[in-house]
Structure formats: C-alpha cells, structure tokens
Amino acid sequence: MQSTRTSTTCTLTFVVDDPTIHEHEDRLKRNLSCFNLEIDQVAMDGDRTFRSIARMLAFTCNHSQDKELMNHLTTLGLLKTENRDVKTLRKLSVSEVLKTDEDIVGFLTVEEQRSLTETAEEFRRPGAFDRN
C-alpha cells in the first residue's frame, strides 16, 4: 500500500553568512521534514511578508475543502495570482491600520497619529513594508 504525503512550506530568510546560523538552519530543515514541511526562500524585495502569506493561503486553499474559507478569501479579493494577492494583502493591511479605532487613537498624541497615518500611506507602495 502506497501512502501519499503532502508537503507544506515554511518561509525563512537568512542574510547572515554565519556558521551558527547555517547549523540552526540545518536543524530547522530536519525538524520541518518530520512534518512534511520545507523552507521556502522568499526574495527580500520588500514584499516578503505579504508574499509569504499569499503563498500559505494559496497552499492552504489548494488542499482544503473548506468552502467558507474559500468564499471569505475570494470576497476579500484574494486567491487570484501571487502578485495580485500580495497587492491585495498590502492594501488590506494598510486599510486596517488606517481605521479609526478610538480605543487605540486615544492613547496617541496628535503627532503620533499623524506619523502613523503617514507611515501607513507610505506602506501602500510595493516594497515599502519590509525594511532592513
């Protein structure tokens, strides 16, 4: 009898060429393989956060029979192409930050509110979210 194994990905980015980091990466790979997971390298292009989420959503939906989840994500404008999902996730994230939540805004000074708005607006641009 043959068994079918499903492989999933775990997004991880390394920028340091350090033997200790590579040793930990090797251990992580071994641990992930026990769960049929592997590291998925994502370019450090400023959209890696959203690209990682888009990939995981696509994978989850390709292996799920959850119609409610699929409908919800489709309603949000997701599950199209990876690049379109990255843009949609960015837009949704910025919109959520810009919502006026009185519970949060009450703790911010006028300058902090302005800074939050300016930073959120800056994050609307592709590649502006992840900074090193």
What are the pLDDT digits (tens) for 27-71?
999 999 999 988 888 888 889 999 999 999 999 999 889 999 999
Nearest to 15 by CA among 38, 56, 44: 44
Q: Are 66 and 37 in contact (CB under 8 A)?
A: no
Task: Look at residue 112 in the predicted model and tell me its pLDDT.
Answer: 87
pLDDT score of 77 more than 90: yes
94-99 mean pLDDT? 85
pLDDT score of 114 more than 60: yes
Q: What does the angle CA 110 – CA 112 – CA 114 come to, to the nearest 5 degrees?
A: 70
Distance (Å, rounded) from C-alpha 63 to C-alpha 68?
A: 14
Task: Look at residue 37 in the predicted model and tell me its pLDDT.
Answer: 87
pLDDT score of 109 more than 90: no
